[in-house]
Structure 1
Amino acid sequence: MTTQPRPRVLEGFAGAGGLSEGARMLNLGPTLGYEIHPNACATATAAGHARVRADIRTLAPAGLEGLEGWVSGPPCPTYSASGKRTGRSDLDIVIGGAQTLFAQTSADAHTATYRQVADERSALVLETLRFALGIEGLQWIVAEQVPAVERIWWEFAASLATAYWESCDVITLRADDFGLPTRRTRRFLVAAREYTPDFSGLPIRSWWWTGRNREPEVLLPQLWTPFPRVSMAAALGWPAGVRVNTRGARKTAGGNEFSADGPAPGLTYTARSWWRTDLGSVDGRLEPWQAGVLQGFPPDYPWQGSRTSQFQQAADAVPPLMAAAVLGAATGRPWQGAVWERLDQLHDAAQPAAA
C-alpha cells in the first residue's frame, strides 16, 4: 500500500483545481484540498490533485502540523456582480465576524455569524481567517475572491498584521494580463509571516499593503505585463471575425454578442449557453473543454459531471497561470518560466529570448 506524503500546503474550497494546477506548475507541494461538491472533487481527483470531500466548517485547524502554506478560494456568488449580491449587504456582519475570530471569543460566536447573514455563503469567507489564525507554524497564505471582497481582505490583512505577520498584501489581477483569453478579475490576499514577498514582474492593477506594526498603504500598481495578448478566437483556433452570442434573442444594455477577436468576458456558468453566431446555437455552442482553455486549463483536463456542472467548475476556478504567479511570488519561487511554458502549450506563445 502506497502512503501519501504529508501535505505541505492545505487548500480550502479547493474546487476542480485552479490553484492546485498553479501549485503543480511550480512543483509546490504536496498539496491537499478540501472541497464539498462531489463533481469538483471528481474532476480534481481525475486530474491527479488530492482531495477530501468535506464541509470545511466542520473541520478544526488546531492540530494540523507541518504545513507551510494555506490556500483558500471561498465561493463568490453572493459577492459577484453576476450573482444576487446579497454578500454586499452582509459585508458589515462578515467584518464583525472577522473581528470575533481575531478576538478568539468562542466557536459559538463564530457560528452565530452564519445565522446573521442573509445568505450563509457570504460567511464562508471567514473560514479563510479561521484557518489562518488556527494553523500553528503557518508561513504564508494565499486567498482569492472577486473584487467586491476588498474590505474583507483588508480586515483580514489588518488582523494578521496585528498578529505580527511581516507582510500582508491585497492585490488585484486580471487574467488577460497573463496571456489568457478572458478578462477574469480576482482579488488576492497574500500574507507572509517572516518575510516580504517579491512581486516583481506581477502585473498588479491595484495594491494595498500592511504589515507588522505598520500603517496600511496604497501602493502604485504595476501595469506592465510581459505576456502576449491572446484573443478568444486564437485560443480556440477560430477564424477572425467570429462573434459569440451570450443571451439568445434577449437584449440587455450590454448587448447579447461580443467579438471573439479579443479576450472573452470573465466566465460564469452561464457560458454554457454561449454559441458562435456563424455556426448557430447547436453546432456552434461552447464546450466545457473550451471554457477550461479560456481559463488556462489543458484541453484534456478531465471535467466531470453534467454539462452545467462542468461549466460551473471551470468558471469557479482560479486561472492556473494566475495562481502560479501569485503562489510563486508568495513563496519566493520563480514563476515566470512556468507561466510561459503553459502559454506555449496552450497558444504556441514561446518566451522571448533574453536580450
Structure 2
Amino acid sequence: MTSPAKQDHRRSIFHDADRKIHIVDLFAGPGGLDVAAHFLGLDTIGIEWDANACETRYSAGLPTIHADVRDMRESPSAALGKVLDDLNDIKVLVGGPPCQTFSVAGGGAGRRALDEVEGFIERLVDGEDTEVIDKELANLGDARTALVLEPLRWIMAAIKAERPYTAIILEQVPTVLPLWRVYKRVLESGRLPGGVKYQAQCKTLRTEEYGVPQSRRRAVLIARIEGHGDVTMPETTHLPFVRSADAAPTLDSALLDDDTQVERKGKKRAWVSMEKALKKTGEELGRTTPYVVVSNYGSGGDPKNRGRRQSSEPAFTVTGKVSRNAVESPEGMELPRFTIAESGMLQTFPKSFPWSGRDRAQQVGNAVPPRFGIHLIAAALGFDEDRVRSALDSMEHWPKIPVAERERLRRLGCADKTKCPDDPPHPPVAEL
C-alpha cells in the first residue's frame, strides 16, 4: 500500500535513500505497528495467526501472512517471497508476543516461568537442539509463554541466512522487562551466529508521554546491528499522567492547548485526555458534555472498587474488555459505552480504520498504539524530528481499500493452507 508520508527526506541509519525498507511484524495483530510504519512511509509484512485480526488487516490493505510464526521461523522465505521480490529489503524485525500469561491481568504463568524462560534463551543462543527445547517449553503450563522466544529464533535464522536485521523492536507488558534485559545481554554478547552483535536498550515506557490518550505502560527493547550508531529510547513529548487517590491531577493551564507556547518554553505538552482524543466523534455520540469512565477491573485488590476516570483525563489501559467499561454522566446517569471506533481512537488508530471480523474489542486491546509505534520505529531507524512530525500530522484518516485489493491480500495471506491456522471460509469483511 502506498504511504502518504513523504519518501524524499529519509535521514536514518540506512544510507541508500532509494532502497525500500521493509518491516516484518511478528504477532502483527490488527496492525498497530504496521499503521505506524505506513505513516512513516515504510512497508510491512505482518504474520498473524488469528483469522479475525487478519480480516481487519486485509480490510486495511496491510500485507499479511495468515500463519503461526513458529511454522515459519526456519524457512520464512517461501511465504514472504510471495509478498517481496527481494527478501534483502527486510531490514527490521518488530514483534509483540502475546502477553496474557505475563500480564498482571492474566493468570501469571509467564511471571512464574520468567527464570525458566531466561534459561531457555541462553540454551537457544548456545545452539542446543531446538526440538529438545520445544518439548520442555511445552511443559511450562501455557503454550503462549514460550512465544516470547520467537523473536530470538527469527533473529538467529536471519543471521544464518546472511540477511541479519538491521534494527529490532520488541514490546510487551512491563513484567517482561527482565526478559528484554536478557535479550539485550545476548544481542550485545557476540554469541549470536557468526559473532553478529547488536547494540540494544530496554526500558518500560508510558504511552501517555508520547501523546496516547491512555495510561498504558509497555516494556520496550530497541536494537541496531553493530556499526549503525548508538541506540536511544524515543524522547518523550508529553507529561506523565499522575493522579493521587484524593485529588484529580492539575496542570499549568498554559500547557493544555497551546503547543507553540509549550515548544518555545521547552516544556512537555500535556497528556492527551479522552475528551480531546474523541472530540471528532463527540457530536455523533452526544459526548459534548463531561463524562466518567468506570473500569471493568477492581482496584487495590478489591473487585468492587472500580476505578474511575474523568473525560478530562487519559483513559485506563485499553484492553480486550474495553467495551465492558461503563460510561456515566458526572451525576451517575448511564451513557453509551465506547464503540469500537472510539476504542480504536483511544489507541490512536484513525477514526476510519476498518475494524473487521469478530472479537473486535479484543483486537483493539491487543494492538500497539500506532502513535507510540511511530516514536519507537523512528528511534530505531534514526528518523529525524521532521519525519516524525509529518507522520503524526497525517494520522487522522485511513484510506478506503477497494474490495478487490482486500480479496487479493486474503488470497495472498492464506495461499499456503498448511500454514493457515483456521480453515476457510473466513469471517465476512466489514464494509466501510
The TM-score by the shorter chain falls in which range? 0.7 to 0.9
Aligned pairs, how many?
320
After TM superposition, list the pairs within 5 Å mapping 1:171-320 onto structure 2.
Answer: 171-194=203-226, 195-197=228-230, 199=232, 202-203=235-236, 226-237=268-279, 238-239=287-288, 241-247=290-296, 252=303, 254-278=305-329, 284-306=336-358, 309-320=359-370
The amino acid across from 2:232 in the alignment is F
Counterparts of 1:304 and 1:344 in 2: how far apart (Å)? 19
Matched, 1:54 2:67: yes
- Which consecutive unaligned segments of at least 5 residues does structure 1 have? 206-223, 347-355
1:100 equivalent among 118, 123, 132: 123
Q: Corresponding residue for 1:323?
A: 373
Residue 197 of structure 1 deviates from its aligned partner by 4.2
Q: Corresponding residue for 2:93?
A: 70
Matched, 1:135 2:158: yes
Question: Is this contact kept in 2: 1:7–1:32, CA < 8 A?
Answer: no
Counterparts of 1:63 and 1:258 in 2: how far apart (Å)? 45
Compared CA separation, residues 51 and 198, structure 1 to 2 (3 A): same
Matched, 1:34 2:47: yes
Structure with larger RCO (C-alpha < 8 A, sep 6+) = 2
Larger CA Rg, structure 1 vs 2: 2
TM-score, scaled relative to structure 1: 0.82
Compared CA separation, residues 112 and 228, structure 1 to 2 (3 A): same
Counterparts of 1:259 and 1:50 in 2: how far apart (Å)? 38
The amino acid across from 1:300 in the alignment is S
Q: Corresponding residue for 2:141?
A: 118
Counterparts of 1:235 and 1:140 in 2: how far apart (Å)? 31
Compared CA separation, residues 314 and 248, structure 1 to 2 (3 A): closer
Counterparts of 2:362 and 2:356 in 1: how far apart (Å)? 11
SS, match of residue 264 in structure 1: coil
Q: Corresponding residue for 2:23?
A: 9
Question: Is this contact kept in 1: 2:294–2:307, CA < 8 A?
Answer: yes
Compared CA separation, residues 344 and 16, structure 1 to 2 (3 A): closer
The percentage of counterpart residues that share the same residue type is: 28
Residue 178 of structure 1 deviates from its aligned partner by 1.6
TM-score, scaled relative to structure 2: 0.68
Question: Is this contact kept in 1: 2:234–2:379, CA < 8 A?
Answer: no
Compared CA separation, residues 127 and 113, structure 1 to 2 (3 A): farther
Matched, 1:165 2:216: no
SS, match of residue 135 in structure 1: helix
Counterparts of 1:146 and 1:290 in 2: how far apart (Å)? 23
Compared CA separation, residues 228 and 123, structure 1 to 2 (3 A): same
Deviations 1:121-166 (A, max 9, x none): 1110100111112113221111110110011111111111112424
Question: Is this contact kept in 2: 1:113–1:123, CA < 8 A?
Answer: no
Residue 198 of structure 1 deviates from its aligned partner by 5.2
Residue 257 of structure 1 deviates from its aligned partner by 3.0
Compared CA separation, residues 24 and 343, structure 1 to 2 (3 A): closer
Residue 101 of structure 1 deviates from its aligned partner by 1.1
Residue 253 of structure 1 deviates from its aligned partner by 6.1
Counterparts of 1:336 and 1:63 in 2: how far apart (Å)? 31
Residue 109 of structure 1 deviates from its aligned partner by 2.5
Matched, 1:20 2:34: yes
Counterparts of 2:49 and 2:111 in 1: how far apart (Å)? 24
